[in-house]
Structure 1
Amino acid sequence: MARIYTPAQFGGYAAIVSCAAVIASVSSLRLDSAIPVVPADDVSAISRLALILPVIVAPLALGAVALLPEEINQLKSSFADGAWLAIAIVAIMQGVTAVTNSLCTRRGDFVLAAFVKVVQPAAFAGIAWLLVRDLSVALATSWIVALLVGTRAFRGLGLVSGWRDSIDACRRAWRYPVFFAPVSLLDTLTQALPLLAIVSIFGTAGGGNYSQVQRLIGAPLMLVGLAVGQVFLKHAGDLIRASTPLTPLFLRVFRNLVILACLTVVVIVFVGDWALAVFLGHGWRTDTMFLILVILPVVFRTIVSPMSSVFLLYGRIGLVALWQVSYFVVTALAVFLGRSGASLDYLLATLVCSEFMMYLTYFLLAYFLVRRVDRYQLGLK
């Protein structure tokens, strides 16, 4: 595909992916995140409502963004015809698929959850390579395929009746749309901000080079992080409900993720330039410094994010919200300072520093929270 499509085409595609992800993050008002932790009697009721909300929320959010003047929404000129429709379809499909993942996590059906995650990129690659020559069409179709595969998770929900129970369950879970949805929006917007800034400042070609490295090297790391995060959420929830100390599991997961991250960086330093140059062909930027600057923020996120569910399990959503607001402000400040430089590398280096500082803070907050709760359970106040 790197020999079929140009970096500029991949940059436009990456901008579509980022915009859709931002909208999808709040398309179900984060009721999907309540599914693994609510009482068993509320699972079907919450899931039923979370499934229908993306069809309503995503188009409304996209319409509000599309109507912004070009002076504010500078990406309008970067989008090709049909991009807004692709964003709408992807955002809806992602929102509904998030409910699939939450149901699989609740039931411990990690095979289906993993299969859905594998099917989507595989379908995208096959469609974009063999059937069409439009990355946005291939992207939207691949998410439809992934959702069709994941519909098995909806068995037994009773989508026709029981809506009164769904409303009552939503009232009991009001903290998720009120507190967790804004936090999730800030999280995805903060992660999308670097790419969107690169596309608007350095053009779609710069965004294509940046996103391609993140996709080829960072995506496997993030996939591991997501998988580990789901398993950690399941077992951490079981330990908390059994009043068993969580610190040993927390530190074991952290240690293993650090080892994985260090091995990844070592491989990039020694063979990353050569391997990507051979894999991508001519026209792509693959020098080692560029690769390291792009991948380090993904490494920090992969190490820390899987264990961030402890805030949800302990009901400390306010603390996450405070960190998330700080994270967004620091990232926006890093983008503002970095854009004043003459090169893309300067902006990337600024982002690496801000990401390290914020994810180190995030880890320490999670660790001390787990330690404090464990010590309280052991009577060591």
Structure 2
Amino acid sequence: MSKLVMRLRGASSSAFLRGVAALMSGNALATIIPLLTAPLLGRLYAPADYGVLAQYMAPAALLAVFASLQFQHAIIAEQTDRGAGGAVWVVLVSTVAAVGLTILAVAVLWLPLLAESTVGGWFALLPLSVAVSGLTAAGSFLANRNRHYGWIAQLQVIQVLTSVGLSIVLGFMGWGANGLLLAYFLSQLVLGTAYLWLLATLGDTLNWPGIMQLRLIVRRHWKFPAFTLPSGLLNQTNMQMPVFALTLLGDTAMLGSFTRARQLVLLPVTVVGHSVAQVFRREASELYHKTGSCRELMLRTAGGLFAVSIGPCLLFMAFAPWLFAVYLGPAWREAGEIARILAPMLMLRAIAAPVTTILFFAGRQVLDLALTIVSTTLIAGGIFFGWAVVGTATSVIWAFALGYGGIYMMYFGVCFFVAKS
């Protein structure tokens, strides 16, 4: 951790370091809690239970992309606080519309598809997930703009405590997959309520701007729904493709092992990365617009993230099957084998993900969309080969890991050139 701070100190302001420290503390707690409770949860729930949860979260994640139409990026991009407040209202109006459309879609698909699925009646709560996604986008980006990093960190911890605590209680009650789903929904409800409160506390900057002002903001930032939205949708589709492929193969237990392995391996390598990403987006944007370059900050940030993430990556590659079997229980050894495959790819994600925000504030949404289309083609081709030709769950996971590893390196190289105008 100290290596990261030293690398950033040479090119970053104290405000950057304070922001990273605030978010890092919240992310650290939000990471430690699931890791400490994982042995208990691993013995209360089977891999198939987590597979059912993944089958709900995959479509919920896709719908979440639509909630804000990606106008949350306009909250950062606006030059004035009044404009940022107007962008928040654009996000909220978009979210209301997205919730209405989700209710309609669930009603239409209920009898022919959703009611008899493994997830069943829980799909009726998809509109709640969409609403929380929109509120989170508006609240977190506004808090980020105002440098309220402590609030963001606290809300992360509250959500994790709610989800993990309820999962344990319901696990002891023998609820199985329903326990995981209920805990997930209640934690979302808590998060949505918290972000509503956060927006209310910043109400002096959120006066209703009027329809004309909203139209001006939409026109000024039309590239976000035109290019960032399809790019975000394709990115999320890429991440969820293994879930859909494993579901089609009918291997719910392998799906649960995959999602749990991805989650647990991702936790330690992104505890710093997520914190840095939120602050990097703000500080690099200011640096880029003032000086025309944020390349030095990008390289120092990436170097620090590599120093932090290489250790956990090597640890998982060497000992993941044994670690999962001992820590989570014998039923999770297969998840350890999957973690070994995913570890290098997730390390590359931790390094590359923060710097890809350069594409947004540099106005390169068209380039981002082009890169995403290339990425989707590669991932879809690889996973289709693993699913349709080889026909094994392991081949699907290998295709996903190798494809995304190459994609993250491609994004990093492109952002290196974009970082200097």
| TM-score past 0.5 threshold | yes
**Counterparts in 2 of 1:180-199, with a 5 A limit?**
180-199=228-247
Structure 1 residues 68 and 287, CA, compared in 2 at 3 Å: closer, same or farther?
closer
Q: CA deviation at 1:51?
A: 2.0
Contact 1:112–1:150 (8 Å) recurs in 2: no
Output the amino acid matched with 2:70: R
8 Å CA contact retained: 2:316, 2:343 = no
SS in 1 for 2:77: coil
Letter of the 1:15 counterpart? Q
> What's the Cα RMSD here?
2.4
Distance across 2 between alignment mates of 1:277 and 1:17: 25
Q: Determine if the alignment matches structure 1 residue 45 to structure 2 residue 86.
A: yes
Residues 170/163 of structure 1: CA separation in 2 closer, same or farther (3 Å cut): same
- What displacement does 1:212 show? 0.7
Q: Deviations over 1:107-157 (max 9, x none)?
A: 111111122222222211111222573222211110111122233431225
Work out whether residues 62 and 233 of structure 2, in 8 Å CA contact, stay in contact via their aligned partners in 1: yes
Aligned counterpart, 2:97: 56
Q: Does 1:153 align with 2:193?
A: no
SS, match of residue 79 in structure 1: coil
Q: 1:8, 1:62 → 2: CA distance?
A: 28
Contact 1:44–1:157 (8 Å) recurs in 2: no
Alignment-derived partner of residue 219 in structure 2: 171
Q: Is the 8 A contact 1:20 1:87 kept in 2?
A: yes
**Cα distance in 2 between the residues matched to 1:239 and 1:158:** 25
Q: 2-side partners of 1:28 and 1:259: how far apart?
A: 35
1:141 aligns with 2:186: yes
Offset at residue 191 of structure 1 (A): 0.9
Does structure 1 residue 276 correspond to structure 2 residue 315?
A: no
1:59–1:260 CA distance, 2 compared to 1 (3 A): farther
Contact 2:321–2:340 (Cα < 8 Å) also in 1: no
SS of equivalent to 1:242: helix
In 2, Cα distance between the equivalents of 1:189 and 1:58?
Answer: 20
* In 1: Cα distance, 2:340 partner to 2:279 partner: 29
Asked whether the equivalents of residues 272 and 305 of structure 2 are also in contact (C-alpha less than 8 Å), the reply is no
Q: Distance in 1 between matches of 2:107 and 2:328?
A: 33
Find the counterpart in structure 2 of residue 252 from structure 1.
300
Deviation at 1:283, TM superposition (A): 1.8
Which stretch of the first structure deviates more once superposed, 162-171 or 89-98? Answer: 162-171
SS in 1 for 2:251: helix
Q: Does 1:360 align with 2:405?
A: no
Structure 1 residue 368 displacement after superposition: 1.5
CA–CA distance in structure 2, aligned partners of residues 317 and 125 of structure 1: 37
Q: Which residue of 2 aligns with 1:12?
A: 52
Q: Where in structure 2 are the equivalents of 1:1-381 lying within 5 Å?
A: 1-40=41-80, 41-61=82-102, 63-64=104-105, 67=108, 78-131=117-170, 133=175, 134-154=179-199, 155-156=202-203, 161-164=208-211, 165-243=213-291, 245-286=293-334, 289-339=337-387, 340-371=389-420, 373=421
Q: Please, which runs of 5 or more residues in structure 2 have no aligned partner?
A: 1-40
Corresponding letter in the other structure for 1:227: S
Greater Cα shift, 184-193 or 198-207: 198-207
- SS of 2:203 mapped into structure 1: coil
Give the superposition deviation at 1:77. Answer: 5.5
Distance 1:163 1:350 in 2: 49
Offset at 1:54?
A: 1.8
State the TM-score, normalized to the length of structure 2. 0.81
Deviation sequence 1:150-182 (CA, Å, 0-9, x none): 334312256673332223322222221222111
Q: Confirm or deny: 8 A CA contact 1:8 1:205 kept in the other structure.
A: yes
CA distance in 2: counterparts of 1:310 and 1:207, whole angstroms: 33
CA distance in 2, matches of 1:77, 1:223: 38
